[in-house]
Amino acid sequence: MAGVLIVAEAVSGALAPSTLELAGEGRRVAEALGEPLIAAIAGTNVRGNEAALGEAGVEQVYLADHSGPGVPSPEWTAAAVVAAVKQAQPSVVLISHSAAGRMLAPTLAARVQSGVVTDATRLRVEGDRVIVTKPVFGGSVLSEQVVLANPQVVTLRARSFAAAEPQPRNAAQSIALQVPEAAGGLEVLEEIREESTSGPKLKDAKVVVSGGRGLGGAENWHAVEELAAVLGGAVGASRAVTDAGWISPSHQVGLTGATVAPDLYIAIGISGAVQHVAGISGARNVVAINKDAEANIFKYARFGVVGDWKQVVPALTERLKQLRS
Amino acid sequence: MDIVVTIKQVPDPDIPPHHFKVDEANKRIVGPPGVAPVMNGYDANALEEALRIREKQGGKVTVVTLGPDGARDTLKRAIAMGADAAVHVNDAALLDRGSSLTARVLAAAIQKIGPFDLVLSGRQASDTDAGLTHILVAEALGVPAVSPVSKLESVDAESAVARRAVDDGYQRIKVRLPALLGVSSELNEPRYPPLKGIMAAGRAQIPVWSAMDLNITDLEPRVELRRLYQETREARVELIEADSPAEAGTKLADKLREAGLV
Ligand SMILES: Cc1cc2nc3c(=O)[nH]c(=O)nc-3n(C[C@H](O)[C@H](O)[C@H](O)COP(=O)(O)OP(=O)(O)OC[C@H]3O[C@@H](n4cnc5c(N)ncnc54)[C@H](O)[C@@H]3O)c2cc1C
């Protein structure tokens, strides 16, 4: 048996956007290897995605429905995916580089005695190996890495691979897995979704306004939020800001935060450290406002203002209000 | 509470990209001369959290690294910050062979150190950016792992309650001990070594263990690094010129409208 197996996720009844990216790239890899594209999906209420998976090119799906109470623990999800991989014996496993995927991928690799490369931005097939391009050292250096055994486990960076275009195809054939409640040591007591106070979700937003340490303090943060509100955009932040607690960690953009791909990304008081810009490589237009003309963020920007945000941003916000009313 | 903290020495991540070079032939990153390597940032957060737990509950904090001779300086810094003991695994046969071997080595060292309640590790190293080793250590030790931890709500002899960041929020997870926590930077601000600590570090005896000491015989890497390279980036920014910053703000708005972006 062989195949390229993607670990699919569904949110409120639909496939996650990251899953469509896994399917798009997975199909390309599967075609190059001459193998089928298959999937595993584990969670609460994951039945009913066979048609959508089929349209995305998936032929077979291993399905583990969590029937127990509460949120499935990461251990249960890992057990389900390990069971699917042991049955399917795929040559490649693709997982999204999400919070869940970051824990799942090494756990899986260890349990099937293989290797793993995380946070890939490009894949290329050579013979039976997948050559993985992975940024290292914050993103200022690129590496090419290869998993030497099968399955080759790889996590894919969000917004770096073209999503599968749904096409009329047969529904994926589903194979049910029985996964007992993990007897392990983890219990998810609760899961708190930090919906942004208003406006769209960071990951999907067309406009993102992000602030950095240059804002000077939590008391100035409203300037970022006001500009985002005027543009109907989401609020982002550098790690300096989330570490300082001016806003919750789920707003962090970058290597260890969210990957965003808006049409417009406005960076205010952000220096543009490689780890931050790692999260915005998919942004189509970057605007930088920074008082330091040498700041690295200008290297990534289409438009820039060298100046103090305290003068620049209120005038920008005011003018945009006029233009948009 | 007996805690082991895994530590890695890394090139200073704050070096701007154009100040270091990539030695493509040897697949290594070469930092500018005179800039000392540092303790991986998330590992410093892990050590800080361990010290805070010990200060409240007593016990012992041991740090362990796998690294070349120079990594000893990072262990000394850990002792200066307040760690009670350090172990240096240093063996040419074990270096730079990927996360899977590194994890097996660290797990063997942790077992040799003795019984533990908690292993604290950084969520990822700032050179390889893989985020794998700590999870693989937990697998090798057969203990549960939670990562990335953005807050530790409580720890007692039996269990810990940690906040784990997920994509648009967080989970509160209760984990039975012994366990491994992968620490993120929101957790705390690592302390600077006090003078007393710096003196203790000067006197500290740090044992060095080899592959043989740890009975590691399978040295096969699972992942091969084929290539390491850099891409240069040309700035193409259009700077908005104006007489005052406020005027620049207004002009920027007009520019964005012209470009069809707002
Ligand atoms: C392993 C690792 C992972 C990381 N992951 C991330 C990540 O995911 N996301 C992330 O963001 N960072 C990440 N970092 C941290 C990153 O290296 C930087 O430290 C961080 O991004 C800096 O945030 P900043 O730009 O807000 O602050 P700084 O670098 O301090 O920059 C502040 C900027 O504000 C400007 N400024 C100051 N005052 C004003 C003013 N009045 N008007 C206009 N401009 C002003 C300054 O000129 C400066 O450029 C990571 C680091 C490591 C080592």
- Do the Cβ atoms of B229 and A318 come within 8 Å? no
pTM score of the predicted model: 0.95
Q: Which of B261, B1, B19, B259 is nearest to B155 (CA)?
A: B1
Closest approach of A287 to chain B, Cα-based (Å): 9
- Distance (Å, whole) CA B150 – CA B200: 30
Q: What is the mean pLDDT of residues A271-282?
A: 96
Q: Under an 8 A CB cutoff, do B236 and A110 touch? A: no
Distance CA A73, CA A141 (A): 35
Structural domain contains residue A197: no
Q: What are the beta bridge partners of residue A8?
A: A41
Check B228 against A119: CB less than 8 A apart: no
pLDDT band at B248 (very low <50, low <70, confident <90, very high): very high
In a domain, A190, yes or no: no
pLDDT at A196: 59
pLDDT digits (tens, 9 = 90+) for B196-208: 999 999 999 999 9
Give pLDDT tens digits for A19-37.
999 999 999 999 999 999 9
CATH of the domain at A289: 3.40.50.1220
Residues A10 and A78 in one domain: yes
Whether residues A76 and A218 share a domain: the answer is no
Same-domain status, A169 and A208: no
Cβ <8 Å between A316 and B249 = yes
A189 lies in some domain: no
Average pLDDT over residues A176-187: 86
pLDDT tens-place string over residues A285-295: 999 999 999 99
> According to the model, what pLDDT value does residue B57 have?
96
Span from the CA of B193 to the centroid of ligand 1 (angstroms): 24
pLDDT of residue B207: 98
Other C-beta atoms closer than 10 Å to the C-beta of B194 total: 12
pLDDT value of residue B249? 98
ipTM of the complex: 0.95
Mutate to test the pocket of ligand 1, among A209, A290, A308 (most ligand atoms within 8 A of CB): A290
Atom of ligand 1 nearest to the CA of A216: 38
pLDDT tens digits, residue range B38-81?
Answer: 999 999 999 999 999 999 999 999 999 999 999 999 999 999 99
pLDDT band of A70, cuts 50, 70, 90: confident
Q: Are residues A208 and A63 in the same domain?
A: no
Residues A162 and A232 in one domain: no
For chain B, percent of residues with pLDDT exceeding 70: 100
Q: Are residues A146 and A279 both part of a single domain?
A: no
Q: Is the pLDDT of residue A250 over 80?
A: yes
- Cβ separation A201–B168 shorter than 8 A: yes
Residues A146 and A48 in one domain: yes
What average pLDDT does chain A have?
Answer: 95
Q: Is the pLDDT of residue A101 over 90?
A: yes
Domain boundaries in chain B? Answer: 2-209, 232-262
Q: Which amino acid, B66?
A: L
- What is the distance between the alpha carbons of residues B197 and B59, in angstroms, rounded to a whole number? 18
- Interchain pair B228, A186: CB under 8 A: no
Q: For A43-57, how does the pLDDT look when each residue is reduced to its tens digit (9 = 90+)?
A: 998 999 999 999 999
Distance A203 CA to ligand 1 centre (A): 20
Closest by CA to B252, choosing from B262, A237, A270, is B262
Q: Is residue A254 part of a domain?
A: yes
How many inter-chain contacts (A to B, CB under 8 Å) are there? 267
Q: Is residue A33 part of a domain?
A: yes
Within a domain: residue A144?
A: yes
Q: Residue B138: closest CA among chain A residues belongs to which residue?
A: A107
Determine whether the interchain pair A255/B29 forms a contact, defined as Cβ–Cβ distance below 8 Å: no
CA angle (A36 as vertex; A33, A40 as ends), nearest 5: 120
**Contact A132/A82 with Cβ under 8 angstroms?**
no
Amino acid present at A5: L
Distance A216 CA to ligand 1 centre (A): 12
B interface mutation test: which of A107, A206, A305, A318 has the most B CBs within 10 A?
A305
Peptide bond into B148 cis (omega under 30): yes
Task: For ligand 1, say whether the CB of A214 is within 6 Å of any of its atoms.
Answer: yes
CATH of residue A167's domain is: 3.40.50.620
Residues 6+ apart with CB under 8 A from A60: A3, A36, A38, A39, A88, A172, A173, A174, A175
How would residue B31 be classed by pLDDT, with cut points 50, 70 and 90? confident
Range of the domain at A68: 4-176
Query: CA nearest A133 in B: which residue?
Result: B227
Residue B234: pLDDT over 90: no
- The predicted pLDDT at position A292 comes to 98
Which of A194, A241, A264, A319 should be substituted to probe chain B, the one whose Cβ sees the most B Cβ atoms within 10 Å?
A: A319
Q: Are residues A15 and A117 in the same domain?
A: yes
Mean pLDDT of A61-79: 91
CATH topology for B2-209 is Rossmann fold (3.40.50)
The minimum-distance atom of ligand 1 relative to the CA of A212 is 26
* Contact predicate B123/B147, CB 8 Å: yes
Task: Enumerate residues 6+ apart whose C-beta is below 8 A from A213.
Answer: A238, A240, A241, A244, A269, A270, A271
**Separation of alpha carbons A322 and A311, rounded Å:** 17
Chain A partners of B228 at a C-beta cutoff of 8 Å? 136, 141-143
State whether A245 and A314 are in the same domain: yes
In this prediction, residue A195 has a pLDDT band, given cuts at 50, 70 and 90, of low
The count of structural domains within chain A is: 2
For residue A257 and ligand 1, the question of a CB distance below 6 A is answered with: yes
Ligand 1 and A107: CB distance under 6 A: no
Per-residue pLDDT reduced to its tens digit, B94-135: 999 999 999 999 999 999 999 999 999 999 999 999 999 999
- According to DSSP, residue B194 is labeled P
What is residue A1's predicted lDDT score, i.e. its pLDDT?
62
